[in-house]
Amino acid sequence: MFKVLVTDGISDTGLKSLFDHPNFIVERQPTLKPEELKNIIGDYEALIVRSQTKVTGELLQYADRLKVIARAGVGVDNIDVNAATGKGIIVINAPGANTIAATEHTLAMMLSMARMIPQAHKKTVAGEWDRNSFKGVELYKKTLGVIGMGKIGTEVAKRAKSFGMNILGYDPYLTEERAEKLGMKKASLDLIARESDFITIHTPLTNDTKGLVNDDYLSKTKKGVRFVNCARGGIIDEKALVRAIQAGHVAGAALDVFEKEPVADPELLQNPNIIITPHLGASTVEAQEKVAQEVSEEIIEILETQSIRNAVNMPQMSGETQQKMQPYLLLGEQMGQLVVQLLKHAPSKIEINYYGDLIEEDTELLTRTMIKGILSHHLSDSVNLINALHLLKEQGVSYNVQKNATNKGFANYMELSITKGLETTKIGATVLNGYGARIVKINEYRIDVRPESHLLLVKHQDVPGMIGKVGSLLGDYHINIGTMQVGRTAVGGEAIMMLTLDKQITAEVIRALTLISGLNEAKSLELSNVDPFYPGRLELEKVNK
């Protein structure tokens, strides 16, 4: 049974899949104080929030069972994603589910500001029929500057075009071609300042965007410009905005989001040229159902089948890439598990090299699987694909990943080496088309072994009779050998034997093996379960059965 805590106002209809699921208990606590939340968070596997609940690092210290934090919306700035990552907690959101709601709210705010509808409404319902104070401006033939041309910015631009506006867009990812297709112009921030009659913000709040619209930027804008912010408070410096409005340079602002919510600053609340809504951009019936439905379904998928779609703290992969990469992901973790058992110590340095077809792929997740495999030997279950890199940094282990144009004789090949002091161990592996995963190199020895749960590595003198002696001793202990491979670098020197066994070998058998004359070392190597958070892990397990 999984327990899900829902704070903030989340749509009941959207939560239906969780309510209906026999393995989930959903509890709603919409009015908790931070202290109260701290006291109960330890009971839940999943937490669903909107923008109101602050999921701080301190709160997460109490979240011992928490596996998923779901943001029923887009912005995750109310969640300490770093702290969640450190604890291996997946943070998901519902990108796109409230795009239309936020878009329409932006246009509603722009039109309301242009025609002073809230101000006129207030006066009229108070009994005054004032037809002189509210002469607005038209959007037609005006220039709209859109800062942030992502999902919402793009939809705003499309709709503003239908009002006959000229659109300028700024976004580091906006290309000339896409701008042209949308019938708008790609512009710099300065050009937007110089030419826009309206400027609307649609970026996340980041270190780059915090205070993006400040005194300096405002001083570059056209006199009479009007601002809309339905993205995040803090992107526009509120004090600077008020100064520019009071100076008569900025004609007005329509704000849905604030540096501090709820907003209490009288300079904003009582300014006749500023219209305000209480963070309502996503508040439509449709958007609220959709965000809640998307995160509910994803929570079920993550906790029941361990597959992830919209994690904020995990590299994203298309379904097609996931399918292609699945065998490598499992092999990567197994390489990590093996290499650390060979080194016997926790490493201080990790080197990963990709060759052949793999250099064309996004290998970030694959790298994480190797690191997870290495770290889990000493840190066990506390490591997963979410926190692997974070924990590595915490342990002070350096890592380096390289993609190489050569192919090392295989269509794809990956090599993982780890170092502690002067000692380095290395595993090379490939996925053979039609035959599956193979370990093809251990340190300097070439081998060809399918990774299985129980492995035995023997180092011995390259002399006749060694294979027979090892085989017969294992037989005496009723240990069945699945496969066996030998490798050597020079005839008559040291050689290795890698065996796959049907069961784990005991310390007693290892001791008996080391008594064989000519046998230098015997080592049991164990491969455990794969990470529960692989994308498509279940399919992967089917493939490997």
Ligand X SMILES: O=C(O)C(=O)COP(=O)(O)O
Ligand Y SMILES: NC(=O)C1=CN([C@@H]2O[C@H](COP(=O)(O)OP(=O)(O)OC[C@H]3O[C@@H](n4cnc5c(N)ncnc54)[C@H](O)[C@@H]3O)[C@@H](O)[C@H]2O)C=CC1
Q: Which does 140 bind (CB under 5 to 8 A by kind): ligand Y, ligand X, none?
A: none
Residues in the chain: 545
Nearer to ligand Y, 133 or 188 (CB): 188
Q: Which residue number has the CB closest to ligand Y?
A: 150
Q: Contact region for ligand Y (CB under 6 A) — 146-154, 311-319, 337-345, 440-448? A: 146-154
In this structure, what token pair is assigned to residue 545?
A: 């059965």
Interaction between residue 51 and ligand X (CB under 6 A): yes
Nearer to ligand X, 281 or 487 (CB): 281
Looking at 281, 336, 451, 535, which residue binds ligand Y (CB under 6 A)? 281
Cα separation, 231 vs 209, whole angstroms: 11
Q: Contact region for ligand X (CB under 6 A) — 279-287, 389-397, 422-430, 522-530? A: 279-287
Q: Which phi-psi region, left, alpha or beta, contains residue 349 (left: φ > 0; alpha: ψ -120 to 50)?
A: beta
Q: In the stretch 87-126, what mask flags binding to ligand X with x, by CB under 6 A?
A: -----------x----------------------------
For the bound state, the minimum distance from the C-beta of residue 212 to ligand Y, rounded and expressed in Å, comes to 7
Alpha helices by DSSP H, 251-405: 266-269, 285-300, 319-343, 364-379, 388-394
**Neighbour count for residue 419 (Cβ, 10 Å):** 18
Q: Contact region for ligand X (CB under 6 A) — 49-57, 189-197, 345-353, 356-364? A: 49-57
Q: Which does 50 bind (CB under 5 to 8 A by kind): ligand X, ligand Y, none?
A: ligand X
Number of C-alpha atoms within 13 angstroms, CB side, residue 4?
29
Residue 98, SS3? coil
Rg (CA), the chain: 30
For the bound state, the minimum distance from the C-beta of residue 51 to ligand X, rounded and expressed in Å, comes to 3
Instruction: Judge contact between 71 and 96, C-beta under 8 A.
Output: no
Q: How far is CA 386 from CA 67, 71, 238, in A?
A: 10, 17, 36
For residue 390, give the nearest of 60, 44, 95, 43 by alpha carbon: 60
Q: Contact region for ligand X (CB under 6 A) — 81-89, 277-285, 498-506, 522-530? A: 277-285
Nearer to ligand Y, 165 or 254 (CB): 254
Those residues with Cβ within 8 angstroms of residue 372's Cβ, 6 or more apart along the chain or in another chain: 333, 336, 383, 384, 385, 388, 531
Number of C-alpha atoms within 13 angstroms, CB side, residue 231?
28
Q: Which does 23 bind (CB under 5 to 8 A by kind): ligand Y, ligand X, none?
A: none
Nearer to ligand X, 252 or 281 (CB): 281
Those residues with Cβ within 8 angstroms of residue 463's Cβ, 6 or more apart along the chain or in another chain: 492, 518
Size of interface with ligand X, in residues (CB under 6 A): 11
Cα separation, 61 vs 38, whole angstroms: 9
The catalytic residues are: 232, 261, 279
Cis status, amide bond into 278, omega within 30 of 0: no
For the bound state, the minimum distance from the C-beta of residue 103 to ligand X, rounded and expressed in Å, comes to 12
Report which DSSP code applies to 381.
G
Q: In the stretch 63-92, what mask flags binding to ligand X with x, by CB under 6 A?
A: ----------xxx-----------------
Looking at 116, 230, 311, 325, which residue binds ligand Y (CB under 6 A)? 230
Q: Which residues would be at the binding site for ligand Y (CB under 6 A)? A: 73-75, 95, 98-99, 102, 147-153, 170-173, 202-204, 206, 208-209, 230-232, 256-257, 279, 281-282
Q: Which residues would be at the binding site for ligand X (CB under 6 A)? A: 50-52, 73-75, 98, 279, 281-283
